[in-house]
């Protein structure tokens, strides 16, 4: 058992993959000499050299597309985009190429590219560096979308993603990089298919992922002191969604609060809510509740930003209301 940060877990995962498979390389803005804008790739240039730790120009579309092309050409690229906000400059490549080529070619060409990016707010970086747009990507067939929240998954999802013959988008919440945790000895690849119940309870299910997971677990701790026991589900994978785990939890608790740092309108939380209606409507004792970011561009000022993003005390308040409510 070692104590490491989330950042170090991602770095070790990249290092291991690069050591074990010569097809793997890392490419992105400032991943080399700078060490990564979140310092994830620090030290990798020294170990692997410029050929395999490739600094790119500020050309998101070209280097993401080049990652897709290199994957078509037999490589296993890891493309780092600094944040999801900048990924919009590469949206064409991700949505029109990575997601379509396999189907559109009648199954002739898989696209085994891994695209990592930071997501989320909470660092007073204002509206162009703070958004949570992973739900958009989860809309798109042909992509796999995952959001590792724990040290285990930060370390274990990347190697599994690299094994997939399809494009995998990995969303790393920017506030998680400094989080410390235990990585068990012999920790290895983790799956990209299942949600995990991180805490069990019988009174409500809190469904969340990524940066909101620890807020939800903290909230569950507070609620437990009042005798409210929450199931906390870490979605882990946003596409495909693990319906079975969600529905099994709903069947036990009969109340659901979805916590998502994305906006509410047309969102991942809306999708999960709809699936619960379709698959578990008669299990519910109360309407599905959602706690999402306020429908505003995330602002700079600390008090406004805090108010815009779901916080632990908001989760507690929503959970209490949900448990008190009866149909």
List active site positions: 60, 129
Residue 313, preceding peptide bond in cis (omega within 30° of 0): no
| Shortest Å, Cβ 169 to other proteins | 14
| Shortest Å, Cβ 163 to other proteins | 9
Nearer to other proteins, 79 or 183 (CB): 79
Q: Other C-beta atoms within 10 Å of 218: how many? A: 16
Q: Other C-beta atoms within 10 Å of 135: how many? A: 23
Tokens of 85: 């906000």
In Å, how far are 29, 94, 136 from 88, measured between CA atoms?
A: 15, 9, 11
Nearer to other proteins, 73 or 287 (CB): 73
Nearer to other proteins, 242 or 261 (CB): 242
| Shortest Å, Cβ 285 to other proteins | 24
Nearer to other proteins, 77 or 122 (CB): 77
The Cα–Cα gap between 305 and 131 comes to 11
Contacts to other proteins by CB under 8 A: 25, 51-52, 56-57, 59, 61-75, 77, 92-93, 96-97, 101-112, 141-142, 144, 164-166, 193, 240, 275, 278
| Shortest Å, Cβ 116 to other proteins | 17
Count of residues in the chain: 327
* E strand or H helix at 221: helix 213-225
Asked whether 78 and 41 are in contact (CB, 8 A), the reply is no
Asked whether 137 and 167 are in contact (CB, 8 A), the reply is no
Asked whether 226 and 267 are in contact (CB, 8 A), the reply is no
The Cα–Cα gap between 264 and 30 comes to 33
| Shortest Å, Cβ 133 to other proteins | 20
Nearer to other proteins, 106 or 227 (CB): 106
Nearer to other proteins, 20 or 96 (CB): 96
The Cα–Cα gap between 22 and 145 comes to 25
The Cα–Cα gap between 205 and 200 comes to 9
The Cα–Cα gap between 295 and 250 comes to 27
**Backbone phi, psi, residue 323, to 5°:** -70, -30
* E strand or H helix at 317: helix 312-324
Strand ranges (DSSP E) for 210-310? Answer: 230-234, 237-239, 256-263, 289-293
| Shortest Å, Cβ 65 to other proteins | 2
């Amino acid at each position: 058992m070692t104590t490491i940060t989330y950042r170090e877990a991602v770095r070790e995962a990249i290092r291991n993959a690069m050591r074990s498979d010569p097809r793997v390389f890392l490419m992105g803005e400032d991943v080399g000499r700078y060490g990564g804008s979140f310092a994830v790739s620090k030290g990798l240039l020294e170990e692997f050299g410029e050929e395999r730790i490739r600094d790119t120009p500020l050309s998101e579309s070209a280097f993401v597309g080049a990652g897709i092309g290199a994957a078509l050409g037999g490589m296993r690229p890891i493309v780092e985009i600094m944040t999801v906000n900048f990924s919009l400059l590469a949206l064409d490549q991700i949505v029109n190429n990575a997601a379509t080529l396999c189907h559109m070619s009648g199954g002739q060409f898989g696209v085994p590219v891994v695209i990592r990016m930071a997501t989320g707010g909470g660092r007073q970086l204002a509206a162009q560096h703070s958004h949570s747009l992973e739900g958009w990507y989860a809309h798109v067939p042909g992509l796999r979308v995952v959001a590792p929240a724990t040290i285990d998954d930060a370390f274990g999802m990347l190697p599994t993603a690299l094994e997939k013959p399809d494009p995998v988008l990995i969303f790393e919440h920017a506030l998680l990089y400094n989080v410390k945790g235990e990585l068990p000895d012999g920790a290895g690849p983790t799956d990209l298919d299942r949600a995990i119940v991180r805490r069990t309870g019988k009174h409500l299910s809190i469904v969340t992922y990524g940066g909101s997971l620890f807020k939800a677990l903290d909230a569950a701790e507070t609620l437990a002191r009042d005798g409210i026991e929450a199931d906390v589900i870490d979605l882990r994978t946003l596409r495909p969604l693990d319906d079975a785990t969600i529905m099994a939890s709903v069947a036990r608790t009969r109340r659901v609060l979805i916590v998502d740092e994305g906006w509410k309108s047309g969102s991942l939380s809306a999708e999960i809510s709809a699936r619960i209606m379709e698959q578990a409507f008669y299990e519910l004792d109360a309407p599905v509740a959602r706690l999402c970011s306020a429908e505003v561009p995330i602002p700079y000022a600390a008090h406004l930003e805090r108010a815009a993003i779901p916080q632990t005390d908001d989760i507690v308040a929503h959970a209490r209301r949900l448990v008190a409510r009866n149909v």
